[in-house]
A and B are shown apart, each in its own frame.
Chain A
Amino acid sequence: MTGPATPVLPLADLGRDDVPAAGGKGASLGELRRAGVRVPDGFVVTTAAFRAAVGTLDLGAPVAALDPADAGAVAATCAELRAAVEAAPLPDEVAAAIVAAHERLAADVGEEDPPVAVRSSATSEDGAQDSFAGLQDTYLGVRGVAAVLRDVRRCWASLYGVESVTYRLRRGIPETDLAMAVVVQHLVDARSSGVMFTRSPLTGDRSVVAIDASWGLGSAVVGGDVTPDAFVVSKVTGEIDRRTVATKTRWHRPAPDGAGVVEGEVPDDRRDVPSVTDDEVAALVAVARRVEAHYGCPQDIEWALAPDGDVVLLQSRPETVWAARDAAGAGQKVAAPTARAFDHVLHALGGRRPSGA
């Protein structure tokens, strides 16, 4: 294990215990690799790098002094702090480590200037309870090490976005020890991508994997830019119990030349075609089951199909909605054993519903 002050760590060195250094997303991606799941190559700019770069700016006091109800003051302070973070010069050893890691990544994926995703990885993000996922920035299709260095600082700065700050203030999350890691990963030119839950988001049924899928990058599905295809697959039999092929009008793709992501219209001849085949659905279910078994609880997963057709995971975190409902309704059961097996029938045919109906 690398020392606490290391500014950059490869994903290959990380596991679920590395949240303090790599943030929730970084630690989870490392853990997924350990579980034998393919994730895009990349590295994490650690919380140590964050502290080395912005620790001296004393950002905690102005935030702690804010009243979350005073929107004007929050907005003004946040703008100030963001600008300060984005402008703060990177310490030399941090910049050098990122440049070196970026070069290694380029060599590993065999591209001179690979497009990457630069994604915030907060230390309290992606936890089962205190989830404020989505409040921090992600940059897709970043090219050139200068742009990477810029976007790492932007991710750090997003910790001082209005929503993030308000969220922390309302929840009483202290500013001390606040830190942010950043994941830099090769951007997969996904043919199709989406999200999947290892239990039904509609009914909470734990015997199925529910998959949403659409053409191109997953940002179209996650961002709600497209109505995806939907599959509900039994974990036990592997059969697709429900299949809804949607008309998929929009897709996001890496810009063909240069940086960024292009949002556009799906060609007519692909709109009504399923964005994943039945075999690919089966492969997704196999990965989902492996990840769920690895973590021991239902997962909420972002996935993509690499150009070679392999399943690649971009994120996995515990499912929270039904977990909370289960916890709230603890003890509510569908049925309990009866004195004699046939008492179940006598009760049901007697017009009496079993408990939990």
Chain B
Amino acid sequence: MSSAAPSAPSGPTPGGRFPLPSEIGPVAGAEGWEEMYPYFSRFQPEDDGRFWFYNSMHFPEVVPAFDGLTSEIPYTAIGANTARLFSFPTTLGIEYRIVNGRVYITANPVTDPAQVEARLAHFQERAGHYYAHWDQLYAGWQQRIEALIAEIEAVEVPHLGDLDDLAVVTGARGYASNHLLREEFHRCIDLYSKMWHHHTEFLMLGYGAYVVFFEFCQQAFPEMGDQTVARMVAGMDVTMYRPDDELKKLAGLAVELDLADLFVEGSEPDKVLSGLAERGEAGRRWLAALEVAKDPWFHVSVGDGFYHHHLSWADDLTVPFAALPRYVEQIRAGEDLTRPTERLAQERDRIAGEYRALLGSEDEQAAFDQMLGLCRQVFPYIESHKFYCEHWFTTRFFQKIRAFGGLLAERGVLAEADDVFHLRHLEVEDALADVQLAWASGGRELGARHWQPIVARRKEILGALAGWSPPPALGPVPETMNDPAVKMLWGITDATIETWLGAEALDADTVRGYAASPGVVEGDARVLMNVNDIGSVREGEVLVCPVTAPSWGPVFGKIAAAVSDIGGTMSHAAIVAREYGMPAVVGTGQATAKIRTGDRVRVDGDRGVVTVLR
């Protein structure tokens, strides 16, 4: 496969290969970036012999020091799940490295046939247990994850007053509140780790069922579009659509209460809120409804839960309020915004039924029924877990860490609360120890002199690294990419690598990816590198982004097409684009590098091609 790749005259992959990790040069102004991440995340000389790819799906931006935890902990959990819990036969876990602030990963395959065979026996017993009791175990999961969320919500940053509360003494608690500083902080980290273990608990098994059905369909119907498989499986009652549905309800309420005039394009949330406050009973009723909807449905981050600065709707109302004017307008125009679930369900069943009827034998129809049935059984988890894990829990987690940052700022260690995210979690513990000691001794914290220059320097480093273009992959291309985890989670196959290698040889005005949602449209590009800029998207534009997250849902009502650097046909952008019936091309690898805001582009969702029309 790799030998067929055309040699590229220029760019990051001269001669049709990827650079080695050791060939990655320093970025001017980013000297010392290594100190932001743990030693075990750095490339080693022997890593040059392995193939690594840039995980831009989860880490499309430079990783701040604290956020290094969002690669460290997920990889400790997912590898434990595949390697040690379920004994996946052909794969252990995933290793990660950080270079210039970007996360690269590689999977550890099991290649010895005897070892595969030995692991298979355990896999059948262990995975078999989960599949056989899926509904019951998944119901338990729902309770476990909600309990974890309750625990993270209950974490309190201790109040350090001049004297500890009298009750601490009269209740003979026996330890002062500064002790709780580290304990409560540690609880956050521990709960975050536990959440990730539960996140992976069903994930690989769920994707496994999907991939097996997908491959069956590809063999039985080689011409079937990727998105068609997803359409046969898609659930109707999807938790991830719920925040958007809540917005639509709020828009409806605004019309009903005669408040529609307050929701106009471009209005800041603060202005809308103060406007509502002046509208008496109607305003109060709407604000009360907003509060109800917020918990939990506004705990969706504008990213995918891997960066502290991807704030949730509840933290920053900009994103949801940017969507409200359009919904209000549609409802006033008499449109029904509720998802036509009955029609969608009928269409889903019609498609599945017609493909089934086209199969050549009753045996194949029976196998089709089994695989589709299993897919539909596991899909509620696949579609819903993100809301509970990456959004609700993670939003609360970052809020708690920010609160500890608030304490450090209050005690003069940091200049402001958000600076806590420029320290690694172990450094935060150090800073908290500084506070614990100073409060105990009656002296003063020494952290201001120590941490504040470090934070300032790291902000400079992040700025310098943001301009670096990470190659899509590093190291020698393997014979074949068949690690099930890599294929399932990142959609990366031999064909993807070929696309990456061939990309430089392509016409500079053409970007290729997966045809994720059919249709062809032209429009002006809006390149969004930072999701917090989502408010800038205008009606009819083509959204071009590194990756989209579920909470972007509302903006899909405005755009004409979606293009992403990373993602497969099961990615969020693909699912939502199909739902909205707009063309989408995903997994292009470099749309954000080749396309500029304002470029006229044609998005061909049938063929997976984006063309810049200059």
Most A Cβ at <10 Å: residue of B124, B132, B370: B370
A239 to B116, CA, bound (A): 41
Mark A residues whose CB is within 8 Å of B: 200, 203-208, 232, 234-237, 239-243, 326, 333-338, 340-342, 344-346, 348-351, 354, 356-357
A226 to B196, CA, bound (A): 58
Contact A346 B367 (CB under 8 A): no
* Contact status of A326 and B360, CB under 8 A, knowing A237-B351, A346-B124: yes
Mostly, the A contact residues are: loop
* Contact status of A345 and B131, CB under 8 A, knowing A239-B518, A326-B360, A351-B89: yes
The B117-134 residues at the A interface (CB cut-off 8 A) are 120, 123-124, 127-128, 131-132
Contacts of B613 in A (CB 8 A): none
Contact B374 A342 (CB under 8 A): yes
Contact A240 B606 (CB under 8 A): yes
Q: A342-B131, A344-B371 are in contact. List 14 more A-B contacts (CB 8 A).
A: A205-B221, A206-B358, A235-B354, A239-B225, A326-B360, A333-B364, A334-B364, A335-B219, A335-B220, A335-B371, A340-B128, A348-B208, A349-B89, A349-B123
Of the candidates B208, B228, B369, the one whose C-beta lies within 8 Å of that of A234 is: B228
Contact A207 B358 (CB under 8 A): yes
Contacts of B367 in A (CB 8 A): 334-338, 344
Mostly, the B contact residues are: helix
A352 to B128, CA, bound (A): 16
Q: Does B463 contact A (CB under 8 A)?
A: no
Most B Cβ at <10 Å: residue of A326, A345, A346, A356: A345
Contacts of B127 in A (CB 8 A): 342, 345-346, 349
Contact B132 A333 (CB under 8 A): no
Contact A345 B374 (CB under 8 A): yes
Contact B89 A333 (CB under 8 A): no
Contact A345 B209 (CB under 8 A): yes
Contact A340 B132 (CB under 8 A): yes
Most A Cβ at <10 Å: residue of B205, B223, B364: B223
List 14 interface pairs A-B (beta carbons < 8 Å), by A numbering.
A205-B221, A206-B360, A237-B225, A239-B225, A241-B224, A326-B360, A334-B219, A334-B220, A340-B131, A342-B374, A344-B216, A344-B370, A349-B90, A349-B212
* Contact status of A242 and B219, CB under 8 A, knowing A344-B371, A348-B212: no
Contact A346 B123 (CB under 8 A): yes
Of the candidates A200, A336, A341, A345, the one whose C-beta lies within 8 Å of that of B208 is: A345
Q: Look across to chain B and name the residue whose beta carbon is closest to the beta carbon of A348.
A: B212
Q: Does B222 contact A (CB under 8 A)?
A: yes
Contacts of A334 in B (CB 8 A): 216, 219-220, 359, 364, 367
A82 to B481, CA, bound (A): 63
Contacts of A234 in B (CB 8 A): 223-225, 228
Contact A344 B212 (CB under 8 A): yes
A235 to B353, CA, bound (A): 12
Contact B215 A237 (CB under 8 A): no
Contact B120 A350 (CB under 8 A): yes
Contacts of A350 in B (CB 8 A): 89-90, 116, 120, 123-124
A338 to B215, CA, bound (A): 16
A236 to B356, CA, bound (A): 11
Contact A337 B228 (CB under 8 A): no
Contacts of A326 in B (CB 8 A): 360
Q: Look across to chain B and name the residue whose beta carbon is closest to the beta carbon of A356.
A: B219
A97 to B279, CA, bound (A): 90
B611 → A minimal CB distance (Å):
13
Instruction: Flag B342-366 by CB within 8 Å of A: 1 or 0 each.
Output: 0000000001001100111101101
A204 to B223, CA, bound (A): 9
The B590-613 residues at the A interface (CB cut-off 8 A) are 606-607
A349 to B368, CA, bound (A): 17
Contacts of B120 in A (CB 8 A): 350-351
B357 → A minimal CB distance (Å):
9
Q: Does B373 contact A (CB under 8 A)?
A: yes
Q: Look across to chain A and name the residue whose beta carbon is closest to the beta carbon of B210.
A: A345
Q: Does B5 contact A (CB under 8 A)?
A: no
Q: Look across to chain B and name the residue whose beta carbon is closest to the beta carbon of A352.
A: B120
Contact B222 A205 (CB under 8 A): yes
